[in-house]
Structure 1
Amino acid sequence: MRKMKGLSLILFCLIFLLTACSGGGSTAENNTPPAPVENEIKEEVKEPAPEEPAKEEPPAKDLGGRVIKIAAWWDLKPAGATASEKARLDKIAELEKKYNCKIEFVNVPFEEYMNKFTTSVLAGEPFADIVQMEYKAALPAILKGQLLKVSEFTTEQNNINKDADLMTKSPSIGGDEYGFDNPGSLGHGIHYNRDLFKKLGLPDLQELYTNGEWTWDKLLEVAKQATKDTNNDGKTDVWGYSGWAMDVLKHFTAANGGNVVDAVNGKEMLSDAKTIEAAEFVNRLYNVDKVVKVKSGNPMDWEETNTFKDGDVAIFFAAEWMLGDLTFEVGIVPVPNGPQGSPDATYANSGAAAKFIPKGVEDAAIVYQIYEETFDIPQTEEYPSQEYLESMYTNQEDIDMIREHITGTGVITLDDAYPEYPTGAFVDDIIVKNQSVTATAEKYKQQAQASVDKLGK
């Protein structure tokens, strides 16, 4: 009897234990016993942070229908021929509505431009709110207090002072930053006639540059190889080089680490050792080795800048905008550095220009802001000026050369800003009259310094 009671008790406990372990569930995942309460990790439930109310942008300033004028000696209005231009036209329309204004692009003939600028600013009523201006014209205007500094119409919130991908500050002039423009890349450098190079079996200049062999001596060597009588009539019919002698001197001076005038310190530089060394080299091109084609018969004639278009010149300096309608393929490399030069400076930027805001423009800050915003559009280019450069050059190697080795290497050259600065007479004496370089530099040194002093720093 006791055994039965013992067995009954054991059986009862066993049934109780099995019932407890089964938990009364019917699915497999419920067969795992829960962890002890003391070992449970309880996730803290966080109350969602209250959303901050969106900051409302202050309403755009109502300009009451004001016309904002943007002037140049050509039409700056986007033509609408590319996706970027179409997007900018749409943006302009949007901004006109946003600010209740009208954006007008003013085209003034070059020969009338500076007179219109000067007379209108002196009258206190600038003919345009934003003006395109060459640096050589801007310097006198700056010295007379007729242009505003970038710092006077921008804040740290403007793109130009932050990412600078819509607008960038142009190089300083007159000791401060006055100019601005949208970022871009331009092809200012030594171009060469690829077709002629292949025909004559000349070494490719980009290969020479890449191999570190592109020097003044190498340029002269190649130019001498190209200068020849190919039809045996006793006359040279293919030439190594061409150009406007004034420009040629300035470019080689810049590539030698110099400048024909020091506009920052107000000093003449025709007598500087770097200028003299460049002038000696240019004289070799024209008068010693005679590799330069002078189509007009006068190396001081500006039209010599276009002589290369005849197709019988191997090497020439040109800007990309000069390459339209050529019948031959071109390549580009930087102007080779002289003995005292560096890759940071490869050409003289005598035609440097930018946008400026004249003194007397009402609400200059909002005018600038609107102009900057016209470029705040979806970017369709992989890099600045892509569409433009691809329209000018057929080889990607040329575009890469411009972007990687030429862009940003221009030396602002402002001798044209100074009244009667004798660069022309200096070059004429050396190249046309074949006078001594050092004697010529000494001859014009005082006149050059007097010209600088007359305008002031």
Structure 2
Amino acid sequence: MAKSKIFVIFFLVFFAFLTFVPGFGQRVYQYKVGNYVLNIDTQKYRGKTIYVWQHWPEEEKSSIPDVRSPKEAREEFEKITGAKVKIVYVTWETKVEKQTAAILSGSGCDIVYIDSRQKPTWMMKKMLLPLNRYIDFNNKDLYNAVGFRKPILDYFTWRGQIYAVTNIYNDNVFPYILYYNKEKFEMAGLPDPLELYKQGKWTWETFFNLGKQLTQDTNGDGKIDQYAYASWRTYAPFLWTNDVMPIKYVGGRPVFNLDNPKAYKAFQAVYEMDAKYKMRPADWWTDPQGRFQKGITCMDYWGPWDISNMRNALGKKLGMVPFPKGPDTNKKSADEGDDSAWAIASSSKDPELAALYLLWMLMPTDKEKELIVKNQIERVGGKEVYDILMDAATRTVINPAAGIPGFSELMDQIDTANPAKSIKALKPKFEAAINAVLEGLK
């Protein structure tokens, strides 16, 4: 009788253990998304800890009902694996400095959120691990399950290896957008930019022709009080949309690439926008988003993070379209894209676990994907605009010169009235900036 009681007690305790310790009785946990199954070993990583460094507080509750928040997804991963995932918060202003120190000291840094400034220096200094060691990017089912964002993979590919990843299931997938006020175009009797884009007629020439008509003295006092355009992005969209990269990579080495006619045309376009068409206010850099939302300007080229603010300000008057294309490209669009992505630091003590967590947090369930896409469609104002922006997202451009210290400041010095002469005069300084980086390349 005593043996029977002991057996019952043992069975109850064992059952409770199975219940509250996920994976104890199940060596492999299977997480299926689409046609891909992520097999997670429930015993291998127990007791281990990885550290995720990011510049924003962890989101505790998702803004989309029935979609797990980052906190909820992390806690689920911890229950399945028995590992701990610690979030290390650093500010945007200090993240590069603190991440660098942590990685080089080899302490407490597994997953880092990086941006274009880290290429190529962090690869050259071996501060990041090639992700190809841990993720099979050739597996189409895995690729689709995650929804890897190809422009990010392409940008963070260095010497044939991929160093950072992100997915398409967040608002950062959208490129920079040319926001426009539909009412202003209608009142001026001008065609809708989105319709022109669909017809293949949305070009610099059209942009300038419409812009000069939108720049008006609306109250008759002899002073311009409505301008066509203002944006903090100056020459960059003209470079991208005329198929110009300020540097190109050859064998992992950055090479100066601004000394060509297509680049000259891009800078010349900025000059003509002001001198010839007078599309921007003299102090165009002053609060372009606020001016657009108040109707002082008719167009503003800005990021997708401001979609809600733009919508709240303009309502149904808000239009969205890619930036017009230049004369020397065959691409339908080439807008600037978000440059941030996840990477594994070379200081990681458990890179395999870090890669597993990367896949986990970048792989929403099939149902979550449906809800995220539905939310994105609503945010941009409908399926048609969503499809156009997602199509444009496949051609986004990330500034390849962002990781060359001093290069952007030199670009700001280019005389747009005479770009060919100015770029040639500045070329030795541009090449010196590149060479300063190449000193660390072996």
**What's the TM-score, normalizing by structure 2?**
0.79
Distance 2:204 2:370 in 1: 32
Q: Give deviations 1:118-143, integer Å, cap 9, x for gaps.
A: 11111111x43211111222431112
Deviation at 1:285, TM superposition (A): 0.5
| Alpha-carbon shift at residue 444 of structure 1 (Å) | 0.8
Q: Secondary structure at the match of 1:110?
A: coil
Contact 1:261 1:414 in 2 (8 A): yes
Instruction: Give the distance between the partners of 2:254 and 2:386, measured in 1 at CA.
Output: 36
Matched, 1:445 2:423: no
> What is aligned with 1:379?
366
User: Structure 1 161/440 Cα, relative in aligned 2: closer, same or farther at 3 Å?
Assistant: farther
Matched with 1:268 is: 256
Matched with 2:340 is 353
Report sequence identity in percent.
20
Q: Compare 442-451 and 147-156 and name the one that shifted more.
A: 147-156
Question: Which residue number corresponds to residue 82 of structure 1?
Answer: 64
User: Using the alignment, how far apart are the partners of 2:263 and 2:274 within structure 1?
Assistant: 17
* Aligned partners of 1:71 and 1:128 also within 8 Å: yes
Cα 1:256–1:205 shift into 2, 3 Å: same
Query: Structure 1 residue 410: deviation in Å?
Result: 1.2
Q: 1:82 to 1:304 in 2, by over 3 A?
A: closer
Alignment correspondent of 1:233: 221
Aligned residue for 1:286?
274
Amino acid at match of 1:140: T
Describe the SS at the equivalent of 1:415: coil
Matching residue of 1:400: 387
Aligned to 2:154: 171
Cα distance in 2 for partners of 1:240, 1:321 equals: 22
- Shift of the alpha carbon at 1:269? 2.2
Quote the offset at 1:59 in angstroms: 4.5
**Residues 53 and 99 in structure 2, CA contact (< 8 A), matched pair in contact too:** no
Q: Which runs of 4+ in 1 moved over 4 A?
A: 87-91, 158-161, 301-307, 381-385
Paired with 1:188 and 1:353, the residues of 2 have a C-alpha distance of 14
Provide the residue aligned with 1:65 in structure 2.
47
In structure 2, relative to structure 1, the CA distance for the partners of 1:290 and 1:304 (3 Å cut) is: same
Give the aligned partner of residue 166 of structure 2. 181
| Counterparts in 2 of 1:252 and 1:305: CA distance versus 1, 3 Å | farther
Shift of 1:342: 2.5
- What whole-Å deviation, never above 9, does each CA across 1:295-327 have from its counterpart, x for those lacking one? xx2x5x585566433322122211111233331
Q: How many residues align structurally?
A: 389
Change (3 A) 1:269 1:73: same
The verdict on how the C-alpha distance between 1:384 and 1:216 changes in structure 2, with shifts beyond 3 A counting, is: farther
Mean CA deviation greater in 252-261 or 266-275: 266-275
1:267 partner amino acid: V
SS in 1 for 2:168: coil
Contact 2:58/2:71 (<8 A) preserved: no
Distance 1:440 1:332 in 2: 34
Query: Which segment is superposed worse, 66-75 or 80-89?
Result: 80-89
Aligned residues of 1:426 and 1:440 also touching (Cα < 8 A): no
Distance 1:181 1:140, change over 3 A: same
Counterpart residue number, 1:132: 113
| Bigger Rg over Cα | 1
2:179 to 171, 191, 202: 191
Aligned partner of residue 355 in structure 1, secondary structure = strand
Distance 1:118 1:87, change over 3 A: closer
> C-alpha distance in 1, partners of 2:64/2:381?
18
Q: Please say which of residues 72-81 and 234-243 is displaced more in the overlay.
A: 72-81
Answer yes or no: is the 8 Å Cα contact 2:344–2:354 preserved in 1.
Answer: no
The answer as to whether partners of 1:348 and 1:410 remain within 8 angstroms in 2 is yes
Secondary structure of the residue that 1:438 maps to in structure 2? helix
Q: Deviations over 1:194-234 (max 9, x none)?
A: 23223333210111112221111000011111000011111
What is the RMSD of the two structures over their aligned residues, measured on CA atoms? 2.8
> Which of 153, 176, 180 is the aligned partner of 2:134?
153
Residues 344-371 of structure 1 deviation map (CA, whole Å, 9 limit, x = unaligned): 651234x511101110201211221133
Q: Does 1:242 align with 2:226?
A: no
- State whether structure 2 residue 120 is matched by structure 1 residue 104: no
Shift of 1:376: 4.6
